[in-house]
Amino acid sequence: MSSPKFQPRRSAMWADQFGKAEFVIWRENPKSPTAAEYLATAKMQHAYAVVIRKRARTKYRSIKGYAEACGVSYDRMTKVLRGEALMRLDDIGQAQHLLGDLHVEAMKVLSRRLEPQG
């Protein structure tokens, strides 16, 4: 798999949290319309990755088991869930089929904001 010019995880301040932590701090204030589109894409992929990861571990006991159920390589699956490769609509469709409705939970992750401590 070739290295894409856009890796969604690069939009997160701490790339290792992409697709894992429900709350991620993003590199905001994009400098161009394209950068703004990439940021929006990264946020959406992150939200779906968080939900897919959680449900896959519950239903298939591991990401490897889920990748096998999907018929894709473990390498590709982990790259998508870590934000190193782009998630495609068919990835979401397949996840919906195998893991149930993801949209509502993903949109909750997408809408999370840092709450003030006090």
Tell me: the pLDDT tens digits for 42-61?
999 999 999 999 999 999 99
pLDDT at 65 over 90: yes
pLDDT for the residue 103: 95
- Local confidence band at 5 (pLDDT 50, 70, 90 cut-offs): confident
Residue 34 has a CB neighbour count (10 Å cut-off) of 10
Mean pLDDT rounded to a whole number for the chain: 92
- Identity of residue 102: L
Tell me: the pLDDT tens digits for 83-111?
999 999 999 999 999 999 999 999 999 99
With residue 71 as reference, give the H or E element that holds it: none
Domains and CATH numbers, the chain: 8-111 (1.10.260)
